Amino acid sequence: MKDTIILQTGIIGSAMAAICCATPILVMALGAFGLSAWLVWADYVLIPALVLFLAITAYGLWRCQRAAACCTSQTQPNKGRP
Give domain status of residue 82, yes or no: no
How many folded domains does the chain comprise? 1
Give domain status of residue 44, yes or no: yes
What's the rounded Cα separation, in Å, for the pair 63 and 17?
Answer: 22
Length of the chain: 82
- Who has greater pLDDT, 24 or 65? 65
What's the rounded Cα separation, in Å, for the pair 55 and 73?
Answer: 27
Give domain status of residue 80, yes or no: no
Other C-beta atoms lying within 10 Å of the C-beta of residue 50 = 19
Give domain status of residue 78, yes or no: no
pLDDT-derived band at 78 (thresholds 50, 70, 90) equals low
pLDDT-derived band at 62 (thresholds 50, 70, 90) equals confident
Torsion of the alpha carbons at 52, 45, 43 and 21, rounded to the nearest 10: 50
Give domain status of residue 77, yes or no: no
pTM for the whole structure: 0.60
Weakest mean pLDDT among 34-38, 52-56, 63-67, 76-80: 76-80
Give domain status of residue 79, yes or no: no
Domain range for 34 is: 3-71
